Amino acid sequence: MSTGNSVIPSSVLGADERKLVAEFVDERIRPVATELDETERFPEEIYREMGKIGLFGITVPEKFGGFGGTALDYLFVMESLSYGYASVADQCGLVEILGSLLGNYGTPEQQEQYLRPMLSAEKRCAYALTEPGSGSDLGSITTRAVRSGDGWVLTGEKIYIHNAPVADFAVVLAVTDPELGKRGGISVFLVDVDQPGVSRAYHEHKMGQRASQVGGLVFDSVPLSADALLGEEGKAFGYMMKVLAKGRLGISGLSLGISRAALDAATRQSLDRSQFGKPISANQGISFSLATVATELRAGTALSVEAARALDTGAADAETLCSMAKLYASEGCVRHADAAVQVFGGNGFIRGYEVERLYRDARITKIYEGTSEMQRLIISRAVLKGAAA
């Protein structure tokens, strides 16, 4: 078993660091993935170790305690961690998004209070956009922050928030000017989850990625000081659109990791399992399925690498490429996990087999960080704009 064969290149991450990531995945994540899935527990010990060995804040500058790498390095890390277990990669992705927000728009005080402890795994974060009435259409959120003296009062409800049951603080999107809406009326706030007025509503029990803690947050007239505002008032939409492109690249990496794990497991099984007196891999019905997965995995990797390099160079089409990478890799990993289950036959349907978990873990990748339909919307707009120009 080895993750050394990730074909995603890196730029700042050198050979020794790549090896360290691969060993961490093989020795610390893969052996506990089944147990984490069954117990749905937060992988506390893995989380702390990730903070210690520098797997949080891959693109965040070193001066803030990040790794100081590129989007390409981030893609490599996400793919590698997800080859171990997607719920662990999720934590890396979450910290990356909030690390980018805090690094780009935070004040020195906010960076000291939230960014550094988050990168060293002393504080856990959540980012809270989705509401009962607002998912794909983020511009329709109703959580409201109203000015009160120097500060604000926050009221509203967020649902399906990663880490809500375990977070120390949340980055919360709220309306500050209903007249302006998403064109200047939505802002971002840093909210300590253990303060009066904030409640963790519930803990969801999910189909897959079950060690990822997902739940609701309710804000009942929560008083916030003026320095709870992250960046400038009304700028949230622009901030989020930028970091969400990186978030989508991260989910493309996570999806590729699921595909690679599915391909590895299915390949081994096809060689180990015999029927009709020969390994099942001797049947083209099986070996051609492996060929298709391997080819699509390479194609998804190439597209994701192109998207990462576009983000790193600030290319005009970077956001579109990130949507393409997310769309292709996420839809791919759902098909690839399905193909792996088929190679395993009945075993593939039984709890405890890796491919059964991969099949469940894959499904959410087509939904979170923007659904496949939203990615097609972004991509088609770029296609049509290009044609009209």
Residues at the interface with ligand FAD (CB under 6 A) = 127-130, 135-136, 160-162, 206, 214, 364, 367-368, 370-371, 373-374, 377
Q: What angle do CA 44, 46, 51 make, to 5 degrees?
A: 95
Measured between alpha carbons, how far is 21 from 8 in angstroms, rounded to an integer? 13
Instruction: For 208-263, list the strands marked E by DSSP.
Output: 214-224, 229-230
Cβ distance to ligand FAD smaller for residue 129 or 174: 129
Least distance from ligand FAD to the Cβ atom of residue 368, Å? 4
Set 27, 122, 369, 373: catalytic member: 369
Measured between alpha carbons, how far is 234 from 182 in angstroms, rounded to an integer? 8
DSSP 3-state assignment of 274?
A: strand
49-53 contacts, C-beta under 8 A, 24 or more apart: 49/24, 50/88, 50/91, 50/92, 50/121, 51/119, 51/120, 51/121, 51/122, 52/120, 52/121, 53/20, 53/24
Least distance from ligand FAD to the Cβ atom of residue 274, Å? 39
- Token pair 């290319």: residue: 315
Least distance from ligand FAD to the Cβ atom of residue 160, Å? 4
* Whether residue 369 lies in the annotated active site: yes
Q: Which residue is nearest to ligand FAD (CB)?
A: 135
Written as six digits, the tokens of 130 are: 């989705």
Cβ distance to ligand FAD smaller for residue 128 or 290: 128
Cβ distance to ligand FAD smaller for residue 17 or 157: 157
Question: What are the φ/ψ torsions at residue 267 (nearest 5 degrees)?
Answer: -65, -45
> How many Cα atoms sit within 13 Å of 51 on the Cβ side?
18
Annotate 32-72 with DSSP letters as a single string: GHHHHHHH----HHHHHHHHHHT-S-TTS-GGGTS----HH
Least distance from ligand FAD to the Cβ atom of residue 125, Å? 10
- Token pair 């659904």: residue: 371
Cβ distance to ligand FAD smaller for residue 344 or 368: 368
Cβ distance to ligand FAD smaller for residue 107 or 136: 136
Least distance from ligand FAD to the Cβ atom of residue 206, Å? 5
Cβ distance to ligand FAD smaller for residue 8 or 193: 193
Least distance from ligand FAD to the Cβ atom of residue 130, Å? 3
Question: What are the φ/ψ torsions at residue 190 (nearest 5 degrees)?
Answer: -100, 120
Catalytic residues: 369
